[in-house]
Every structure is written in C-alpha cells, then in structure tokens.
Structure 1
Amino acid sequence: MMQSRFAPNRRQSRLLGFLTLAVCALASPIPAALAEDAEAPRDEFFWLGEMNKATAVINTEEGLLDLSLAPSIAKALQTVIDDGSKQGADRPRTVITFEPLLIEAGGQEVTLLHAGRSSQDMHATYRAAILRQDLLALAEQLHTTTRTLVDVARTNADTIVPNYTNGVAAQPNSYGHMLLGHAAGFLRDAERLHEAYARIDRSPMGTTVLNGTSWPLDRERMADYLGFATIVDNAYDASQISSMEQPVEVSGVVTTIALHTGNFVEDVMTQYAQTRPWILLEEGGGNTYVSSSMPQKRNPGLLNGTRSAASNALTLAMGPIFQTHNITPGMSDPKDVADNSAMVEAVIDTLARLDRVLKALKINPDRALQELNSDWTASQELADRLMREHGLPFREGHHFASEIVTFARANDMGPLDFPYAEAKRIYAETMAGTDHSEDLPLSEDAFRATLDPVAIVKNRATIGGPQPSEMTRMLAAADEALLAQETWIETRTTRIDDSLERLDKDFQALLTGSAEDKG
C-alpha cells in the first residue's frame, strides 16, 4: 500500500489540533513538543511565506534586492512564519493581511520584497499550489480505491452473475469482468486528473496584475522553487483566465468520479429489493443496520452513505461552473480556496467510502447462478450459435429464441426444464414459410449447453470479453496502469517536496548571511 507523503489538509489539520489539545489535557509536557514538531498545513499562509522566501533569495542573487538588507528582511519573514506556525496562531490568507506582519517585524524596508508583485499573481499562485496538492491527495485515494476494485475483480474472475441493462437482467457475465469495466472508468478519471494537473501545475508568479512588470523578475526560477513544472506563459491569462477555469476543470474530474461511484452503488442497490439477493454487504461494522421497527431488515447504511457522499460531491462540483458563468475575466467568484478544496475533499470522502463498500461485498455465486438459470439471460446465445455454426440469419434465430422465451414465461418454465420437444416445435413453426429447414439443427445436448451461462462466459471470443484469457490480459493491464499512477503521484509529490526543501536551504543561507551575491 502506498503511504501518503502529503502535508495535512484543512480537515486533517483541524483533527491534529483537536488531538493535540486532548493530549494537553492528559500530559502537559508532551503537547508542547507535539505543537512544535507538527508540520504546518500547506495553506494560503504557508504559500505566501514560500513566495516571499523565494522572492528574497532570487531577487538578492539577481541584484534586485540589496545584499546588505537581505538578512534582516529574511529574519523578519522568518519571524512571521514562526509566529504563524505556533499552536492556535492566526495564519493570514491574503497579501494585504500578511504584509503588515512583515512590516511590524522588520520595518518598511521589508516592502522591498514587493517589487514587481501583486496580490493578483500571488493569490493565483497559492490557489494553483493548493489545488495542485488537493489533486495529488485525490489521485492517491483514486489509486487506492481502484486498486481495491481490481483486486476484487481478480478474486471474482470466475464468478458468474447476471448483468443488467435498462434495469432488467440481460446476460450472464463474470463479476470480475464487470468490475474491470468499472475500473476502466476510474482509470479514465485518473487520466483526466493527470491532464487537469498538468494545466494547473504552472506558476502565475511574476505576472503581477495582468501584463507583467518593469522589474526583470526570474519567473522560471520562482516556478522551480515552488515546485511548479513550468510557468503560465501569458501574463493576462495567468490571473484573469486560467485561474478562473482551473476550479471548473477540477469540477469535471470530481463529477465523473462521483457519477461512476453512484452508478456502481445503484447497481448493487438493486439487489436489496430482492428477497434473496446474490450480492449484499457484510453485516455489522457500520456496513448495515437493523430497522428500528422491522426486525427482518438489514438496511445498507454504507451504500446509502456512499451514494449520498457522491451526490454531495456532485453538488459542490456545480459551484465553480455557476460562479464562473457570466462574469468578467479575473473576478474572484470561483476562486475561493476553501470552497474548491471542499469540493475535492468531498469526492475523496466518496472514494474512501466506496473502498469500504468493495471490501464489504459478499457475493453468493450459487444464488447468482440460480438467478441466471431461473430466467432466459442466455437466450441470445441460441441465435448466435445458429448463425455461427449453421448459417441461420441472426434475425431468424433471434425470432426463434424470442418465441421460446414467450412460451416459457407463459408456462412458468426455465432454461433448465424447458422441453426439447417444444424447442423443436417452435423452431419448425418459426421457420415455416422461409427458405430454411424446419428441423432444429441443434441436438438436445447442444441445446442445453447453449443455455449454460458458465459456458457462455468461458466461450466468448472477442477482445475485451470475460473469457479467462482476456481476464488475465486485462487484469495485467490494470495492474500496469495502477503502477504508472503510483509512479505519477510519487514523482510529482517528490518534485514539490524537493523544490521546497531546496528553497528552504537557500533561504536559510540568506537568513544567516552566508549567501553570496550572484547578481
């Protein structure tokens, strides 16, 4: 299992604070150490600090900031960062609330850092940075849930169950094959996430309001220090266009994940309307609960909660779209960090719940096969086999199979007990007046074998089918895709962490006065 290397998000930070206070109440010497060692969240305050650190280092080395002033300015900045990192301290989220703290710590000379900058590009930068880390957290949970989905598919590669279309039992299938179909959807969600990430992983810093600055700022180095892959090329685009579309693009990723989750949950939920389902949740452990009035009921609380979580994520995903609609470029309406992070956190929660669902599924293969044999989900194979082996046009074979089903249902017959003599009679009547023989070309053994759902699944021949050879191939492909996802997450997380570590090292050198003038 891949271990998370991400900084705490808002929810995790609140939980950490609560736990720290709880420890404080139990043992006073411990919490102080906890408060000092706890990593500060990578929120707006954090990124404002990183931008200021990078500005101090770069502008000093580029000769835009006097080397003799750099240590004192760096010290003032470090003071503000340290104060904001204390337990319960205020962490300003805007440039205009952050800068007064700098001035208080280091005097007006500190504002030399603001040369060629604006709250427009600085806020656009931390919004991109935070949305970027939210996407990495989402990518990790998506990877975890898809991994579980593929593992359950592997376990059930040979489990034969009914599949449904239009809400009606349609054809027999391998349950593992069906799950791999759902996994394919989530793997595409990962592709969409990667594409969105690439467009968000661009630094707006140095574009000021919308057309740059007369200061020759090193935008590429700034992007590198902050862990961005590149810069937003057009200064107007940086904070006026791309920063508005980013939450909308992420909302699209959130939407497809939530929809895929809801589709899966509702497919499982159809079984709960049956008196003898072939798939249920393992009882207890928060998965199910007993009705308050009807003792026979085991309500699928986990499924209901997962569906509700998906609906909540979809609701939040609509926000950026409506907020961006019919406003002029650059407006702040869709840019709220808390709202956009909440949207991503909602779908992370949805995926975590789905992961629990997948691990709690209990499948009864015998009951699934019984349901298949109690209906005519294998009837299409009659038409297929007559065409494949005996040259009968598909529509003629389809008509024959349909007449068998009509007769069987009218007489309460299933595939296992349908009289072969009746099949011969119906075939003869169906072929009467055609150019085809009225003699059914299938022996009784062949007729019975054609309606065997297990044989049907094993004998599928098309690429992407549920037959064992294709299941082996598709499971291997899913494993490969998941490994690539894991590498993708690790590579981008490491790049951000390494960049910030390098920035901190260079800033510490500036702080101690050991940095050299490279301008």
Structure 2
Amino acid sequence: MKLWGGRFEKTTDAMVEDFHSSIRFDQRLYKQDILGSIAHARMLGSVGVISEEEANHLMAGLTEILDDIQAGKVEFEIGAEDIHMNVEKLLTERIGPVGKKLHTGRSRNDQVALDLRLYLREEIDHTKNLVEQLLQTLLQLAEEHLETWMPGYTHLQKAQPITLAHHLMAYVQMFLRDLGRLKDTRKRLNSSPLGSGAMAGTTFPLDREKVAAELGFDGVTLNSLDGVSDRDFALEFLAAASILMMHLSRMCEELVLWSSGEFRFISMDDGYSTGSSIMPQKKNPDVAELVRGKTGRVYGDLVALLTVMKGLPLAYNKDMQEDKEQVFDAVDTIQKCLLVVEPMLRTMQVHRDTMAWGAKGGFTNATDLADYLAKKGVPFREAHELVGRIVLHCSKQGIGLEELSLSDYQELSPIFEDDLFEAIGIEHCVRARKIAGGPSPETVAEGIRVSREVLNDLLW
C-alpha cells in the first residue's frame, strides 16, 4: 500500500505508476535525503515530538540504510515512487512502526527542496574546485608566454599584435567571474526549507534553526510557500553553468582554429586528439569540439527548467519533479568538460615562431603607425586616413609597413623620421602598451599577480 494510500479506493494504474515515479533519477539524492532525515529525527527527539529513544532508533536505522546503499546492497522500487518514500519504506521494514514517525512535521515538498539544495551546494563546491584548477593552469601558461607574440583579432581578422599571455588572461577574467557567480549562487541557496511542510508549515514545535545548523545552512527560509516552491537556486546554478560553458566553448573554438593547418599556432597532445576512420593523416581536436557542442546541452537544461517554472501557481506542483534531471545533466556535463579541458590546455604545444610570424602579417602595426603621427602633432583622424592610404599601397605591392622605405614614407609626409621603424616594430608595439589591462609583458605580469589575489579571495 502507498504511504499516502488511505484516501484512495483503488490502486494506481501500472502505466501511471511508472510515469509518475522519479526514483530512476532522484535516487541520486539518497545521501542528502538520509542526512536530512537524520537531522530531522534528532530534532524531533530534542523538542519532545518523539522520544529520544525513538529518535536514536530512527537515526541508527537511517545510518544503516545509508551504508547499505553506498555498498550497493539496496535495490530501489519503482512502486515507492521517489527516493524519499523508498528510504522511509526501507526504514519501516527494518525498524518497525517507529519508522512511520520519521515523517512527522514534514512533507515531501520541503524534503525534496532540502535535498536539492544540499546536493547543489556540494556540486557547486566541486565545480568551483575544477574551475580553480583550470584557472591555475591558465595563469601558469600566461606566465610562461609573457613574450610569446601573436596577432590579436577582431571580426576574426588580424587587428593588433598582442601576446599569448594577454590572450589567455582574457579567459582568466571570464572564469574568475564564473567563480563569483557560483559563489553567489551557493550563498543564496544556503537556507534550509525544512519545516515549511507541504506549504503552510506545521503545528509541531519544530526547531528549524537546529536542523539548519546541523546541515550547514546559514539560516532558514522565511516563507513556507516560497520554501517549497522556490527553484531560483537551481535556475541560478544553470544560468551560471551556461555562462561558464559559453566561456569554455569560446576558448575551445579558438583552440580548434589555432590547431588547424591554416593557423598552426598550437598542436594538441595525442591524448586529447582523435583520428579519422578513412583519412590516415588526420589529427582532430575532437575534445575541444565536443566541449563546444555540449554547451548547447547545458543551455537546454536552463531553458527547460525556466519553461517548467514559468506558469506555476504557488506552491508546489508536480511539474517541479522535472527540475532534477536538468540539474543533474548540467552538473555532469560541466564537470566532465572542466575535467578534460584543463589537461588539454596543459599538454598542448605552442608554436611560438608561427605565432610571432602571424603577428607580423595583416598590418597589425597600422594603429601604431597612426599613433606615431598623432604623437608628432598630426590630428588622429588625418593620421588614420594617411595610414589607410599607406596600407592600401603596401597591400598592392605585397609588402608590410616595415618594408616600405623611409624615402617612400617621406614622400607621403615629411613628418616621418628614422625613429619610424622602431615605433612600428611588432615587439615595440606590444611593449609600449603599458596601460592597465594592456598587453605589455609588464602589465600582463601585474594582471597575473592581481588575478591570483582575486582567485584566493573567491575560494571558500
């Protein structure tokens, strides 16, 4: 008989029972469910709702069930619907009628809200650790490539010379923001909903704060309707995960481009590449491509849960059973991606000479030529127009700005002098950009130092 079956005259249709059941996926919450139940049982005993002896009996039985599940000795039942009722059924079978007292003052509505918060809190911490490892690798790579010159791009066209360190540090800033979002999400979810009951609390004198403290929460939710129906914390995580995946995808997109024969900036380690079943010469950046592809999966998880929640009246509705699979999928996806991206970056080979050669093509020093004129008193707009004509001339001749003779420059403007070629040298173009946030090695080195401090502040 169902634990809620007293109201019903006939059993649930077999097809509906299977459709209704969530144990296939929410069994993943077994640890959180049992730890929450242990805290609830201890509190029931401390406030006198049940005897201390009964509370101890409940806690011992729950601990035994937890151990057995972890040892693979428990098979869950579809007919028991979900993880909550499976655990309660097991408990009652093992310790007798006292097991039926566990649910006093509690509903599955506040129970599942508690479980999901406990689960996400733990997974956010794990995700944070993986992001930290990725950041440490990026920072180390940046330190190693402070003077690895490369072209910077806008519109995927060569724009200005920078360094690989400067480029990598852009991603460091993105992932630091991701850490901040995860930290904020964790802070907001860390309130215990247990005690909200089905939606209107309970008449039992529960000590909500005691349970919250035992489970590591900062406090309790302040409205029972919101306590059982809020999934903002799950949506916040999915949003943060989506942005994090977007950053991973952008980085992987560049790694795919850079490893191509057209760029040849990097080579992927064999351990993070695959081949072709028909073309023996191929070495494909499949890991980076798959991370890029999995980004859409996490976006889908976010949109799916937003859609589930958008029209729900207060308080709990069965629709909300659809929250867990989206959260579980996003957690699995993002953690697997982080686990493979970090060593993929760490083991890739950087072709410094090819990057430096690339920085010299495409007139990446054109802005510096215009700046040279502006520093000699030519209005920048006029300097821009003149340099544009010089670029057009050099382009037709198939030469770079540094290959045009001084006499040719002086025919265009007498302002050009011998110091011209130093000003438009690629290394000088980069080293001269010492403004905060710029690509000069000294500036980037300071950015690395500050970023390490920010990273330490974000760890918890």
TM-score when normalising by structure 2: 0.87
1:320 deviates by: 1.7
Counterparts in 2 of 1:86 and 1:295: CA distance versus 1, 3 Å: closer
Is 1:398 aligned to residue 387 of structure 2? no
Is 1:259 aligned to residue 246 of structure 2? yes
Is 1:314 aligned to residue 328 of structure 2? no
Task: Give the AA of the match of 1:260.
Answer: H
CA contact (8 A) 1:160 1:175 kept: yes
Is 1:340 aligned to residue 313 of structure 2? no
Question: Cα RMSD between the aligned structures?
Answer: 2.3
Match of 2:451 in 1: 478
1:403 deviates by: 0.7
Match of 1:152 in 2: 141
Counting only pairs closer than 5 Å after superposition, residues 468-507 of structure 1 correspond to structure 2 as 468-486=441-459, 488=460
2:195 alignment partner, SS class: coil
2:160 alignment partner, SS class: strand
Is 1:233 aligned to residue 222 of structure 2? yes
Is 1:412 aligned to residue 386 of structure 2? no
Instruction: Report the Cα distance in structure 2 between the residues aligned to 1:185 and 1:147, rounded to whole angstroms.
Output: 13
Instruction: Report the Cα distance in structure 1 between the residues aligned to 2:236 and 2:295, rounded to whole angstroms.
Output: 18
Instruction: Report the Cα distance in structure 2 between the residues aligned to 1:446 and 1:409, rounded to whole angstroms.
Output: 23
Instruction: Report the Cα distance in structure 2 between the residues aligned to 1:49 and 1:234, rounded to whole angstroms.
Output: 24
CA contact (8 A) 2:147 2:163 kept: yes
CA contact (8 A) 2:44 2:55 kept: no
Alignment equivalent of 2:42, drawn from 46, 57, 61: 57
CA contact (8 A) 2:269 2:349 kept: no
Instruction: Report the Cα distance in structure 1 between the residues aligned to 2:392 and 2:137, rounded to whole angstroms.
Output: 41
Instruction: Report the Cα distance in structure 2 between the residues aligned to 1:166 and 1:195, rounded to whole angstroms.
Output: 33
Structure 2 gaps of 5+ residues are: 1-25
2:152 alignment partner, SS class: strand
Structure 1 gaps of 5+ residues are: 1-40, 428-438, 489-519
1:451 deviates by: 1.6
User: Number of residues paired by the alignment?
Assistant: 429
Match of 1:455 in 2: 428
CA contact (8 A) 1:381 1:451 kept: yes
Is 1:371 aligned to residue 358 of structure 2? yes
CA contact (8 A) 1:282 1:288 kept: no
Instruction: Report the Cα distance in structure 2 between the residues aligned to 1:359 and 1:263, rounded to whole angstroms.
Output: 17
Alignment equivalent of 1:287, drawn from 273, 292, 308: 273
2:398 alignment partner, SS class: coil
Counterparts in 2 of 1:333 and 1:385: CA distance versus 1, 3 Å: farther
Instruction: Report the Cα distance in structure 1 between the residues aligned to 2:102 and 2:286, rounded to whole angstroms.
Output: 55
Instruction: Report the Cα distance in structure 2 between the residues aligned to 1:56 and 1:326, rounded to whole angstroms.
Output: 35
Counterparts in 2 of 1:391 and 1:111: CA distance versus 1, 3 Å: same
CA contact (8 A) 1:142 1:348 kept: no
Calculate percent identity across the aligned residue pairs.
Answer: 23
Counting only pairs closer than 5 Å after superposition, residues 98-117 of structure 1 correspond to structure 2 as 98-117=87-106
1:95 deviates by: 2.8
1:197 deviates by: 0.8
CA contact (8 A) 2:372 2:420 kept: no
Counting only pairs closer than 5 Å after superposition, residues 161-180 of structure 1 correspond to structure 2 as 161-180=150-169
Task: Give the AA of the match of 1:310.
Answer: T
1:150 deviates by: 1.1
Match of 2:343 in 1: 356
TM-score when normalising by structure 1: 0.77
Cα deviations by residue, 1:281-329 (Å, 9 ceiling, x for unpaired): 235224253x444454432223223322333333333322222233334
2:300 alignment partner, SS class: helix
Cα deviations by residue, 1:186-209 (Å, 9 ceiling, x for unpaired): 000000110111111111111111
Instruction: Report the Cα distance in structure 1 between the residues aligned to 2:94 and 2:283, rounded to whole angstroms.
Output: 62
Instruction: Report the Cα distance in structure 2 between the residues aligned to 1:423 and 1:293, rounded to whole angstroms.
Output: 54
Is 1:187 aligned to residue 176 of structure 2? yes
Match of 2:33 in 1: 48
Counting only pairs closer than 5 Å after superposition, residues 424-463 of structure 1 correspond to structure 2 as 424-427=410-413, 439=414, 441-443=415-417, 445-463=418-436
Counterparts in 2 of 1:297 and 1:76: CA distance versus 1, 3 Å: closer
Instruction: Report the Cα distance in structure 2 between the residues aligned to 1:80 and 1:283, rounded to whole angstroms.
Output: 45
Instruction: Report the Cα distance in structure 1 between the residues aligned to 2:219 and 2:370, rounded to whole angstroms.
Output: 58
Task: Give the AA of the match of 1:57.
Answer: R
1:407 deviates by: 0.8
Instruction: Report the Cα distance in structure 2 between the residues aligned to 1:71 and 1:351, rounded to whole angstroms.
Output: 42
1:232 deviates by: 1.4
Instruction: Report the Cα distance in structure 2 between the residues aligned to 1:195 and 1:224, rounded to whole angstroms.
Output: 20
Match of 1:247 in 2: 234
Match of 2:131 in 1: 142
Task: Give the AA of the match of 1:442.
Answer: F
Counterparts in 2 of 1:321 and 1:473: CA distance versus 1, 3 Å: same
Instruction: Report the Cα distance in structure 2 between the residues aligned to 1:457 and 1:270, rounded to whole angstroms.
Output: 23
CA contact (8 A) 1:73 1:109 kept: yes
1:169 alignment partner, SS class: strand
Higher normalized contact order (CA 8 Å, seq sep 6+, divided by chain length): 1
Counting only pairs closer than 5 Å after superposition, residues 3-152 of structure 1 correspond to structure 2 as 43-91=28-76, 93-152=82-141
Task: Give the AA of the match of 1:383.
Answer: A
1:114 alignment partner, SS class: coil
Instruction: Report the Cα distance in structure 1 between the residues aligned to 2:27 and 2:278, rounded to whole angstroms.
Output: 48
1:142 deviates by: 0.8
Alignment equivalent of 1:218, drawn from 180, 186, 207: 207
